Structure 1
């Protein structure tokens, strides 16, 4: 499941480093922590297994303590994000890979990487090596002699650890192998052997009355190992990758290329740190996507801002719309649409290919109109505006709306289905008769309405991608 994610980032000039060449234990963990410290964007390959993985969660907490921007990318099933550390973080859904998902991923990573900050002056405490108890218990089992009391203590701890970490398949396997090592010792008591056999039979169906007592391989150690699924295996939707890996992806300057990563157990896909050498640069526009971000989202090189106003709404009085109730569906940030909403201020940019401002639909050119509208703090005005807009947008579904301009040019649009519900809705409309399409997204984030329009001949969810980028800027959080 993680391979498509890696492939897209590689095409975006990302370098991929895996820790398959590293041993386990302290050196393995220290290398991972160093890569997190040196990265600019920390990507979490999100699934149920990564949410249950102790190493993944430790790495995420460490990255956040280091002020690294976090980019969660969902690649597998997730029961609930609301009760996880990512509950307040915007997540990119990459379960169904397509051009829109690829564009959203690349644009988000590019946007976050440009907002890198130095490490805090006082570095946070390093998390401990995950599952270090495995090394300690393995060392205990290597001793020349174990008393009955020590054997009983080992059985008790191994049973407890198995209950605690049974969701991690590699750790579970290591604990089972430690139990087998204890059972097969020459000095083991009959009582200890019976206790171990009971634990094994309860946790692994392969340990039955016919198999207990057979020798097993020695414990592999504390470092998780990759297990590949057989071609015909059916391990559930959360284990469909050919190999389950946790990656650290690095994008550096041409003079410094490093590839970093770590391996975990079956389908326990976890953290990815996109590493980019940080050099101070001019800050991005505070609340609207930069031209380069729009280029990436639209997959159209050369798009530039051709008109903007960072303080006011767009006047709509010069536009004649055959169905006035659909004005807000066709045009973002228009003063008439927000009249009476208690909005305080607005900002907008229109972007096209070089050559001056042209209307959406002229010569099939890509067109982006990105707007934000700010309401009073904690007023609920932004959410209320989107809530009120839902019925208006749905009322325009299937309508043919003709727009006339003062220069006597007219354009007829057929409005498509409205998708979603407050606080985020979207809708598309198509220019008759050539099929040129615009997508609109309206999204309330905190006290701001994000109002975006993206048009072109091959529109999928580009307006959604831009909305996500602006949402991260609005919240001032590394939350793509």
Structure 2
């Protein structure tokens, strides 16, 4: 999962290195939960690559959702990452990382925006990743989400080991909630003081959005981020 290996370096490195500072954080925090509209209740137009940046939330909006004040953008990328060599079960790569080259391979995606946000401190209390991926059609975007639904269900209840450079961590992947328009799944890092992440994924029109929200008291923040990204997609 994005949380398992992302530290702000350069964003291709941000998205391949790790949010190690967040993942070992033992600082508590209480996040705010927002009730947002589901994608199926919104009329999203067909988007182009020039629309992708505005789908992303602002740092202020992310702070509001996470119940924080100091979160800001620490890295961004327009390329897929490849962390497949660092996971113990590559078949569950989609449940543990976002914007992965191997996961999106063959899906016919054409462009993406990937952004990491966190407090710029060594022991950050929150870590967020927001991703929007462009497809040639709504059918292609929806097909990717359906494929992910199956993978997330299969990987729920398992543990995944992550080896990235000299860092090792183990993540417990909970049962996925795949009953609604927005898929969600929570993963918790072993021996990290309760640090965990919610992963959310959905599609609307010809885009797929992914969100990761991590803290020591994570609830439904990634779902809210994903839903609000879809709201931004409406505003063409």
- Alignment of 1:387 with 2:161, yes or no, is no
- Alignment of 1:315 with 2:82, yes or no, is yes
Q: Distance in 1 between matches of 2:150 and 2:106?
A: 17
Higher strand share: 2
Alignment correspondent of 1:345? 111
Preserved contact between residue 349 and residue 371 of structure 1 (Cα < 8 Å): yes
Q: 2:190 aligns with which of 423, 432, 440?
A: 432
| Cα RMSD for the two superposed structures | 2.3
Preserved contact between residue 194 and residue 217 of structure 2 (Cα < 8 Å): no
How far off its partner does 1:285 sit?
4.7
Q: Distance in 1 between matches of 2:190 and 2:227?
A: 29
- Alignment of 1:374 with 2:142, yes or no, is no
Change (3 A) 1:458 1:399: same
- Give SS of 2:171's match: strand
5+ residue gaps, structure 2, are: 1-29, 38-51
- Alignment of 1:304 with 2:62, yes or no, is no
Q: 1:457 aligns with which of 199, 206, 216?
A: 216
- Give SS of 2:109's match: coil
Preserved contact between residue 396 and residue 415 of structure 1 (Cα < 8 Å): yes
Alignment correspondent of 2:7? none
- Alignment of 1:441 with 2:200, yes or no, is yes
Q: Deviations 1:425-460 (Å, cap 9, x if unpaired)?
A: 110011102321100001011111111110000111
Larger Rg: 1
Q: Distance in 1 between matches of 2:171 and 2:217?
A: 16
How far off its partner does 1:474 sit?
1.5
1 or 2 for the larger relative contact order (CA 8 Å, sep ≥6)? 2
Q: 1:419 aligns with which of 177, 189, 194?
A: 177
Q: Distance in 2 between matches of 1:298 and 1:470?
A: 15
Q: Distance in 2 between matches of 1:376 and 1:291?
A: 29
5+ residue gaps, structure 1, are: 1-98, 109-283
Alignment correspondent of 2:22? none
Alignment correspondent of 1:104? 34
Alignment correspondent of 1:286? 54
Preserved contact between residue 364 and residue 457 of structure 1 (Cα < 8 Å): no
- Alignment of 1:403 with 2:162, yes or no, is yes
- Give SS of 1:306's match: strand
Q: Distance in 2 between matches of 1:411 and 1:373?
A: 28
Change (3 A) 1:422 1:343: farther
Q: Deviations 1:327-359 (Å, cap 9, x if unpaired)?
A: 11111111111011111111110011024xx7x
